[in-house]
């Protein structure tokens, strides 16, 4: 009988195990379904994707790393099989050896073919499977490409299947920068020269034991223990019912979910669920609590809606009632509770309620970037509310919620949140019932009321919308609430046969309209509202939509500001009015410096950072200590009218500090401005941006790209406040100087024009106290009226210049942040490294 070929022969032949810390190749039995991903910084950074099959790890080198976006087809080059012992490999392969470089254990878990498929499908050039890892989850596909003539390597494509775990292009490799085994960054692993954690020492029993312990307690080792307690309940922001959808980009719009409003307070595995009145209903929503706990969130307070889906696939209040009545032990996939998060009120002990609605939403997107159903962030659109409203009404949904983009969270009912309903629905107090002449029905109809002032007012009755189980349940409740007299004034004819109840039960009722006497017409029972108290049930009357006009008057609208583009002051004002919702999350409440050009671009433009008292009430002042010990008032804005007030005074550009006015001495944003020499093309700048992104990632820092609107690209690094300006400046300086020393032919870290020839200046000087950088979406006082525009890392490759968009592109720019590559752009919870 012929001897079977050794599947690890190629692996062993390529390595000298006297020089490399990698384990020798031996076929071994495992659980049969492990998968791992190793981030491998060799000749070229890539991600090694490995599946356990037949006692070995079948392997592919994924050049860009896996993407959770189904639209991304990532090249995966088939490599030699690896031994099972490689599944815990993390360390440094010596330079000069095969695969020399740093290896991080980036993800791991289990895999299995989908039903009806098997691992043998690989022989036919495809594999459809599911992953359950720390980072990679859900359905995936591997498909072999047709080889080109003379091509020796075996090329495959790795692609995410569209499912509950799909996400944006950069959600995986762009934001997941540490080992799932040891919690280290690539830089920390690379710097492990003495081998305290390197697998070169894994041959020693002591370290092997240490690595095994790390593997068993991965969650504790790879992530810092969440400190702090879940925040306390905060009074909820409530929406005002209006008769039309508000218009303009100053509003964004969400679906009005048909469920229970809830606040979720979390800190790691400690999670609390509060009703709209602050009742602790954690036990009632135990399945959701487990899903939130699994996210291991920092201390935070999230506002949202708990829903259940009906038979038509839409959120349905009656279905929610049925799930709660059954109890969470009886749930299956079809009846599970879901939580749609739409606001973030606190994070890491910091109240966020003074921030604008859209900025809080962006921070929420960043916080819940790993969430998967049944936890999700509610989608929104800016402007175009009528389109969403018509779609919801056509689908039989309740309506929409419209939110003023720049408004704070007030914790009460206001016109900063509006609700527009497709059908009329309100809460009513059940005050009695009418007997039924049919034996199968315990009652014929319910008598309804609402509070007006100190008393209850009769609002008619409802006799439809009940099934047998609901009627039986209500009858049991009525027995303990019975009373002899009416709890309200009511006409004798209406009260003739009524059986009265203590006014404690709250019902949700759908109806066509109110009659002239104030009773509901064509009413239908939807369910009881156990999350609301009877004393709070009052009539809900439609109000008019608040005006969307600005308080700021723009004069001389026809004055030409950009001669080449023939753009006027009015055009510039219209641009800022349109773009304000997505600009303000990055510019509001930061000390700003303005580039004012009262006569137009290039005509006596000047910087202004102090207030001369001429900007009006919408531009605010914050006193900041100067170097001489005195204080000066600096400018800042917090709403769209603030932007327009500055434009009225001749402002074109907005530049911001790296900190906010409420914590001026605690920087929270680092900027690296890539400024190319005149002779360099934009392709060199893009390559430099991607290289710097990688270097920052090796240090564990998530970064974002922004086209400056000038010549270069800004690398934006959000940071948690808590470090000093000196530490901020020192880190950015050392980082830029290290890059310039490593590649002196490409980079320079000094401003000297003479030393910049043919190179890119990594401008770190914007990270000093008092320095500013151009703000996202600011116009530039340059030819063509370009603007500074955030851009996804993958999209950067297709951009031909730093001024790709202008003030004429407001309609396109306002839609872009909803795309997968820009959700949560500019926000990440991360601290300044100390090394």
Query: Is residue 809 within 8 Å of residue 802, measured between CB atoms?
Result: no
Distance between alpha carbon 172 and the CA centroid of its chain, in Å? Answer: 13
Of the candidate CATH numbers 3.40.50.300, 3.40.50.1110, 2.40.50.140, 3.40.462.10, the domain formed by 424-536 belongs to 2.40.50.140
pLDDT under 50 in the chain at which residues? 1, 196-223, 329-334
Query: Is residue 685 within 8 Å of residue 712, measured between CB atoms?
Result: yes
Residue 830 phi/psi, 5-degree rounding, is -160, 150
What are the domain boundaries of the chain?
9-222, 238-421, 424-536, 560-663, 669-818
Q: What's 466's DSSP letter?
A: -
Strands 338-347 and 375-377, how do they pair?
Answer: parallel
Residue 134 contacts by C-beta under 8 Å, 6 or more apart in sequence? 107, 108, 109, 180, 218, 222
Measured CA to CA, the distance from residue 386 to residue 253 in angstroms comes to 9
Measured CA to CA, the distance from residue 257 to residue 245 in angstroms comes to 17
Measured CA to CA, the distance from residue 93 to residue 101 in angstroms comes to 5
User: How large is the greatest C-alpha to C-alpha distance in the chain, in angstroms?
Assistant: 101
According to the model, what pLDDT value does residue 222 have? Answer: 44
Residue 360 phi/psi, 5-degree rounding, is -65, -40
Measured CA to CA, the distance from residue 142 to residue 307 in angstroms comes to 35
CA neighbours within 13 Å on the CB side: how many for 614?
Answer: 10
Q: Which of 323, 339, 318 is nearest to 262 (CA)?
A: 339
Query: Is residue 726 within 8 Å of residue 828, measured between CB atoms?
Result: no
Q: pLDDT tens-digit profile of 808-833?
A: 999 999 999 988 889 889 999 999 99
Give, in words, the CATH class of 669-818. Answer: alpha beta
CA neighbours within 13 Å on the CB side: how many for 666?
Answer: 10
Measured CA to CA, the distance from residue 665 to residue 726 in angstroms comes to 10
Give, in words, the CATH class of 238-421. Answer: alpha beta
According to the model, what pLDDT value does residue 450 have? Answer: 97
Measured CA to CA, the distance from residue 254 to residue 209 in angstroms comes to 52
Entry field: residues in the chain: 835
Strand partners, 674: 713, 762
Measured CA to CA, the distance from residue 261 to residue 390 in angstroms comes to 23
According to the model, what pLDDT value does residue 799 have? Answer: 95
Is 256 catalytic? The answer is: yes
According to the model, what pLDDT value does residue 313 have? Answer: 81
Q: What's the token pair of residue 807? A: 């003030």
Measured CA to CA, the distance from residue 335 to residue 326 in angstroms comes to 10
Cβ burial, residue 773 (10 Å; 0-12/13-18/19+): buried
Q: Which of 595, 536, 532 is nearest to 260 (CA)?
A: 532
Query: Is residue 344 within 8 Å of residue 360, measured between CB atoms?
Result: yes
Instruction: Say whether 669-818 and 424-536 share the same fold.
Output: no
Residue 273 contacts by C-beta under 8 Å, 6 or more apart in sequence? 262, 263, 264, 265, 280, 281, 282, 284, 285, 288, 289, 306
DSSP assignment of 85-139: GGGG--EEEPTTSTT-EEEEEEEEEEEEEPTT--GGGGGGTEEEEEEEESS-EEE
Measured CA to CA, the distance from residue 735 to residue 732 in angstroms comes to 5
Q: What's 374's DSSP letter?
A: T
CA neighbours within 13 Å on the CB side: how many for 751?
Answer: 3
According to the model, what pLDDT value does residue 249 have? Answer: 92
According to the model, what pLDDT value does residue 835 have? Answer: 62
- 374 preceded by a cis bond (ω within 30 of 0): yes
Dihedral sign, Cα of residue 433, residue 470, residue 529, residue 395: negative
Give me the catalytic one of 200, 256, 532, 759.
256
Q: What's the token pair of residue 527? A: 């369910």
HEC-encoded secondary structure of 265-287: EEEECEEEEEECCCCECCCCCHH
**Terminus-to-terminus CA distance in the chain, angstroms?**
60
| CATH number for region 560-663 | 3.90.920.10
Helix, strand, coil in percent for the chain, rounding step 5: 25, 30, 45
Measured CA to CA, the distance from residue 654 to residue 635 in angstroms comes to 11
- pTM > 0.75: yes
According to the model, what pLDDT value does residue 162 have? Answer: 92
Residue 476 contacts by C-beta under 8 Å, 6 or more apart in sequence? none
Vertex 150 angle, CA 149 and 152, to 5°: 120
Helix axis angle, 640-648 to 569-587, nearest 10°: 140
């Amino acid at each position: 009988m012929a001897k079977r070929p050794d599947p690890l022969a190629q692996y062993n032949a390529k390595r000298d195990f006297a020089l490399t810390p990698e384990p020798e190749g031996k076929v071994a039995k495992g659980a049969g379904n492990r998968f791992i991903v190793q981030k491998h910084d060799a000749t070229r950074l890539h991600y090694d994707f490995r599946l356990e099959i037949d006692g070995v790890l079948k392997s592919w080198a994924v050049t860009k790393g896996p993407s959770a976006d189904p639209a991304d087809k990532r090249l995966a080059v088939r490599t030699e099989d690896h031994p099972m012992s490689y599944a815990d490999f993390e360390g440094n392969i010596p330079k000069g050896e095969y695969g020399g470089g740093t290896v991080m254990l980036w993800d791991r878990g289990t895999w299995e073919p989908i039903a009806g498929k098997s691992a043998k499908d690989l022989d036919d050039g495809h594999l459809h499977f599911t992953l359950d890892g720390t980072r990679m989850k859900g359905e995936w596909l591997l498909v072999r490409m047709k080889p080109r003539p003379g091509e020796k390597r075996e090329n495959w494509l790795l692609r995410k299947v569209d499912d509950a775990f799909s996400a944006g292009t950069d959600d995986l490799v762009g934001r997941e920068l540490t080992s799932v085994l040891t919690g280290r960054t690539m830089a920390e692993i690379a710097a492990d020269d003495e081998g305290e954690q390197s697998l070169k020492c894994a041959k020693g029993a002591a370290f092997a034991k240490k690595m095994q312990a790390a593997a068993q307690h991965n969650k504790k080792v790879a992530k810092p223990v969440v400190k702090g307690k879940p925040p306390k309940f905060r009074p909820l922001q409530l929406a005002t019912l209006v008769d039309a959808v508000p218009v303009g980009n100053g509003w964004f719009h969400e679906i009005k979910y048909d469920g229970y409003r809830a606040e979720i307070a979390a800190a790691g595995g400690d999670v609390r669920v509060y009703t709209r009145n602050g009742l602790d209903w954690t036990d009632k929503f135990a399945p959701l609590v487990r899903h939130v706990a699994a996210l291991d969130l920092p201390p935070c307070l999230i506002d949202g809606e708990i829903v259940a889906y009906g038979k038509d696939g839409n959120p349905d209040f009656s279905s929610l009632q049925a799930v709660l009545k059954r109890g969470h032990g009886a749930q299956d996939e079809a009846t599970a509770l879901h939580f749609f998060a739409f606001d973030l009120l606190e994070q890491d002990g910091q109240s966020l309620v003074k921030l604008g609605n859209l900025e809080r939403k962006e921070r929420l997107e960043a916080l819940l970037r790993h969430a998967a159903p049944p936890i999700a962030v509610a989608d929104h659109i800016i402007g175009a509310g009528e389109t969403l409203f018509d779609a919801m009404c056509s689908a039989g949904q309740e309506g929409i919620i419209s939110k003023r983009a720049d408004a704070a969270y007030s914790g009460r009912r206001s016109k900063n949140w509006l609700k527009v309903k497709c059908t009329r629905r309100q809460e009513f107090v059940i005050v009695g019932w009418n007997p039924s002449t049919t034996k199968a029905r315990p009652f014929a109809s319910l008598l309804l009321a609402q509070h007006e002032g100190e008393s209850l007012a009769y609002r008619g009755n409802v006799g439809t919308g009940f099934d047998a189980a609901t009627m039986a349940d209500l009858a049991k409740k009525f027995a303990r609430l019975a009373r002899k007299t009416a709890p309200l004034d009511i006409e004798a004819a209406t009260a003739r046969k009524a059986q009265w109840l203590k006014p404690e039960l709250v019902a949700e009722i759908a109806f066509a309209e109110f009659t002239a006497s104030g009773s509901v017409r064509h009413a239908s029972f939807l369910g009881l509202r156990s999350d609301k108290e009877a004393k709070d049930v009052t009539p809900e009357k439609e109000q008019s939509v608040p005006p969307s006009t600005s308080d700021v008057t723009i004069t001389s609208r026809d004055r030409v500001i950009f001669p080449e583009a023939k753009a006027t002051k009015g055009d510039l004002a219209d641009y800022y009015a349109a773009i304000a919702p997505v600009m303000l999350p990055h510019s509001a409440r930061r000390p700003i410096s303005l580039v004012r050009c009262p006569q137009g671009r290039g005509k006596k433009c000047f910087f202004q950072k102090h207030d001369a008292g001429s900007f009006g009430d919408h531009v605010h002042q914050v006193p900041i200590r100067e170097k001489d010990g005195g204080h000066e008032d600096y400018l800042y804005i917090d709403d769209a009218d603030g932007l327009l007030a500055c434009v009225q005074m001749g402002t074109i550009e907005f530049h911001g500090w790296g900190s906010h006015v409420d914590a001026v001495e605690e920087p929270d944003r680092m900027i690296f401005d890539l400024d190319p020499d005149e002779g360099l093309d934009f392709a060199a700048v893009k390559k430099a941006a991607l290289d710097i992104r990688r270097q920052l990632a090796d240090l564990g820092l998530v970064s974002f790209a922004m086209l400056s609107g000038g010549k270069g690209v800004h690398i934006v690094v959000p940071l948690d406040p808590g470090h000093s300006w000196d530490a901020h400046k020192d880190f950015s300086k050392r980082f830029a100087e290290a890059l310039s020393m490593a590649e002196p032919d490409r980079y320079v870290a000094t401003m000297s024009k003479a030393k910049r020839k043919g190179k890119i200046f990594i401008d770190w000087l914007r990270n000093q106290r008092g320095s500013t950088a151009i703000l996202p979406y600011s116009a530039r006082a340059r030819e063509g009226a370009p603007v500074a525009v955030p851009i996804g890392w993958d999209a950067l490759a297709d951009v031909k210049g730093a001024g790709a968009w202008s003030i004429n592109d407001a309609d396109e720019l306002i839609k872009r942040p909803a795309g997968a590559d820009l959700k949560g752009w500019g926000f990440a919870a991360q601290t300044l490294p100390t090394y």
